[in-house]
């Protein structure tokens, strides 16, 4: 039981760590291309969407990969 929980938390931790890295990269360069409505949105907006993006980063990765030629 303990091992199962530790492994689950480890997987979630790795997923979220990758999410943080991806989110930083996307916010640095690419977010405006993915969603033009984010153009000109300030740092507070980015801060607000940051936690959600670390959780749903795979959705944006898929969109990002589809967009690239």
- Binding footprint of other proteins on the chain (CB under 8 A): 1-2, 5-6, 9, 34-35, 37-42, 44-45, 47-49, 51-52, 55-56, 59-60, 63
| Cβ-based neighbours of 26, under 8 Å, separated by 6 or more | 34, 53, 57, 60, 64
Nearest distance, CB of residue 69 and other proteins, angstroms:
21
Per-residue tokens: 39: 């153009």
Our CB check for other proteins shows the closer of 28 and 44 to be 44
CA torsion through residues 36, 39, 44, 47, sign? positive
- Minimum distance, C-beta of residue 31 to other proteins, in the bound complex (Å): 10
């Amino acid at each position: 039981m303990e091992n199962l929980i530790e492994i689950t938390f480890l997987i979630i931790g790795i997923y979220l760590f990758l999410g943080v890295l991806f989110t930083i990269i996307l916010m640095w360069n690419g977010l405006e291309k993915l969603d033009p409505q984010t153009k000109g949105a300030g740092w507070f907006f980015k801060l607000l969407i940051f936690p959600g993006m670390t959780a749903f980063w795979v959705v944006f990765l898929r969109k990002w990969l589809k967009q690239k030629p």
